[in-house]
C-alpha cells in the first residue's frame, strides 16, 4: 500500500488540473448513513416509495418519515478525508470536487469549488407556493414530530436533492464533464461507481489521458480501469497522500 500511496502522491504532485470525485464512502466515515450495501438504508426502505419523485408526489409524509434518518447529516462533521481534499485544493492542485453527496461536508471542510451532482439538503422548497426554507427549519419540525408542511398549507416541501426519476442538474453535470475532460489526474474516493451518468466521468478523464486513482474501502468492478487502486479508509489514506505530495514538492523545488 505504501508504494501505491507514493505513486498516487507523485501523480497528484505533478498534476496541473486534478479533479476529485467523491461518493457515500467519504461521508460514511463521518457517520452519515449509506444507502447501498450491508446495513444501507435501502435494506430498510423501498427507494421507489421514499426517494423517488413519483413516491414523493404520492406520499410526501413517507418521504419525511424516511428523512428522519438523514438528520445525522446535519450533525456529522467533516473527517480527515474532507480536509485532505480541501488542502489539495488550497495547494492549487485540485481544481474541482465533484460529489454525489448532499451533506455539504466538503464545503464545511474548506473546499471552494464543489459540484453537487445530486443537489444538497441545505435548502427546501415548497412545490406549490415557491417558498424556501433552510434545512434547520425542517429539522425542527422533524424533531418535534410535527407534520412537515409549508405555511401555505402544502405538504409538498422538497429538499433540493435529486430523487429517483429526476434528471441530474444539467448545468452541474455539464461542468463536471468539462472538468473531467480537462483533468490530468482524476481521483475517485469512496464510490463504487454504480450510479450513472456520474460513473461515466472517470471514462471522460481517461479519454483525455488522465491518470486515474481509486481510493475505496472495498474492491469495485471499476477497479480494472484505474491506474492506481488503494483499498482502505479514505480518512487514513488521503492525509498520507497529502504529506507525500508536500514531501515530493519540497524535494523537487
Residues classed as catalytic: 118
Whether 155 and 149 have beta carbons less than 8 Å apart is answered as: yes
d(CA 35, CA 145): 23
> Which residues on neighbouring strands pair with residue 212, listed in sequence order?
186
d(CA 216, CA 164): 24
Question: CA 222 → CA 69, 186, 189, distances in Å?
Answer: 29, 14, 12
Binding-site residue positions for Zn(2+): 126, 129, 150, 152
Binding-site residue positions for NAD(+): 23-42, 100-103, 190-192, 216-218, 234
> For residue 109, what is the enclosing H or E element?
helix 105-109
CA angle, 69 then 176 then 165, to 5°: 45
Q: Which set of grid coordinates corresponds to residue 107?
A: 464545503
Question: CA 69 → CA 65, 204, 224, 253, distances in Å?
Answer: 8, 35, 34, 49
Nearest by Cα to 96 from 187, 169, 6? 187
d(CA 203, CA 121): 28
Binding-site residue positions: 23-42, 100-103, 126, 129, 150, 152, 190-192, 216-218, 234
Residue 62 has a CB neighbour count (10 Å cut-off) of 16
d(CA 66, CA 235): 28
Amino acid at each position: 500500500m505504501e508504494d501505491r500511496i507514493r505513486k498516487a502522491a507523485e501523480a497528484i504532485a505533478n498534476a496541473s488540473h486534478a479533479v476529485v470525485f467523491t461518493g457515500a464512502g467519504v461521508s460514511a466515515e463521518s457517520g452519515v448513513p449509506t444507502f447501498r450495501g450491508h446495513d444501507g438504508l435501502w435494506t430498510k426502505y423501498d427507494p421507489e416509495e421514499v426517494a423517488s419523485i413519483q413516491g414523493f408526489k404520492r406520499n410526501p409524509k413517507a418521504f419525511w418519515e424516511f428523512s428522519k434518518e438523514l438528520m445525522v447529516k446535519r450533525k456529522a462533521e467533516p473527517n480527515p478525508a474532507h480536509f485532505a481534499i480541501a488542502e489539495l485544493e488550497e495547494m492549487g492542485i485540485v481544481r474541482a470536487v465533484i460529489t454525489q453527496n448532499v451533506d455539504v461536508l466538503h464545503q464545511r471542510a474548506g473546499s471552494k469549488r464543489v459540484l453537487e451532482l445530486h443537489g444538497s439538503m441545505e435548502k427546501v422548497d415548497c412545490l406549490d407556493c415557491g417558498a424556501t426554507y433552510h434545512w434547520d427549519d425542517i429539522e425542527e419540525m422533524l424533531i418535534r414530530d410535527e407534520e412537515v408542511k409549508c405555511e401555505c398549507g402544502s405538504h409538498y416541501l422538497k429538499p433540493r436533492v435529486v430523487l429517483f426519476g429526476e434528471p441530474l442538474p444539467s448545468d452541474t453535470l455539464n461542468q463536471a464533464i468539462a472538468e473531467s475532460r480537462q483533468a490530468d489526474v482524476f481521483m475517485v474516493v469512496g464510490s463504487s461507481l454504480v450510479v450513472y451518468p456520474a460513473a461515466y466521468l472517470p471514462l471522460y478523464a481517461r479519454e483525455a489521458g488522465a491518470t486515474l486513482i481509486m481510493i475505496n474501502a472495498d474492491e469495485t468492478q471499476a477497479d480494472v480501469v484505474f491506474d492506481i487502486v488503494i483499498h482502505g479508509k479514505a480518512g487514513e489514506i488521503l492525509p498520507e497522500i497529502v504529506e507525500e505530495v508536500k514531501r515530493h514538492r519540497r524535494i523537487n523545488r
